[in-house]
Structure 1
């Protein structure tokens, strides 16, 4: 399962950890999920750019 939000990820963490939003652990997970969001955005952009339907110029030459 892919976790898209911090709350989804924090729900999977053992109850040993403090899950309140003002803790360092929660902020660490926020940083982690924000980086995953950036990576997801880049992958989606790359998918659009490399799509044959959206290809123009050099990109369509490379796909050809």
Structure 2
């Protein structure tokens, strides 16, 4: 009796804040290396905390010139 439990969240990791142009450039770079749009979106989402779906939609707007 008389016990309390206090839960404290840890410090969230610092995540890079990239502009849409920077995100597109990063996606394009990965796609040119042979990584699929889906996988590139997943990787960037993991590193930035952004929505994978948002990044994939952004990846779909990138024009690939050969």
Q: TM-score range by the shorter chain?
A: 0.3 to 0.5
Q: Which has the higher contact order (CA 8 A, sep 6+)?
A: 2
TM-score, normalization: structure 2? 0.36
Q: TM-score, normalised by structure 1?
A: 0.36
